[in-house]
Amino acid sequence: MPKEFVMRGRTASGETEVLNIGSQARPGYGYIMTEFLLYFGEDIGGAGKELAGTVTAGKTAVAPLEPDFTNAGLIATSLCFASGSTDNPDHWTVVNDLYIITQDLILMVQDKSGNDGFTNWQCRFREVKLTSAAEAVANYKQYTVFNS
């Protein structure tokens, strides 16, 4: 059975986090992101809120409010919003679950409502066994994405 693990955190709006996949990596294995979720870091009562986040394998973060799906390094984007205190938050997430990850990632979150608060986030990864050739291809792909 494949090994899964979760990374969780809380990041200030407009800031980035490095997801240290390199420390998790074992030779001959890669990782696939299977989940990316956002949730409010403060009380949502009485006011509408909108959060956006991205995860990328590039050198820099992708702006969460303007994700570009032609960016080869964009692995995931997520949107979480609530229109008021009586509504349950809605989530929309797109994850490239075919992208094999072998290096660190950059996560960025943004509170679209202009608040400087914090966003809670969670990423789930699944370990995949790679042949030597598949590992070389995954490493090369990430190298070209990182250096483009």
Task: List the domain range (segments joined by +) for residue 137.
Answer: 4-146
CB atoms closer than 10 angstroms to residue 117? 16
User: What is the model's pTM?
Assistant: 0.86
Q: Collect all residues with Cβ–Cβ distance below 8 Å to 61 and sequence separation of at least 6.
A: 16, 54, 106, 107, 108
The number of distinct structural domains making up the chain is: 1
Sequential pLDDT tens for the chain (148 residues)? 468 999 999 999 999 999 998 776 778 888 999 999 998 877 666 566 788 999 999 888 999 999 999 998 999 999 988 776 556 778 899 999 999 888 899 999 998 766 668 899 999 999 999 888 777 777 777 767 766 6
The two structure tokens encoding residue 73: 């390094």
Helix locations, the chain, DSSP H: 132-146
Q: How far apart are CA 46 and CA 87, in angstroms?
A: 10
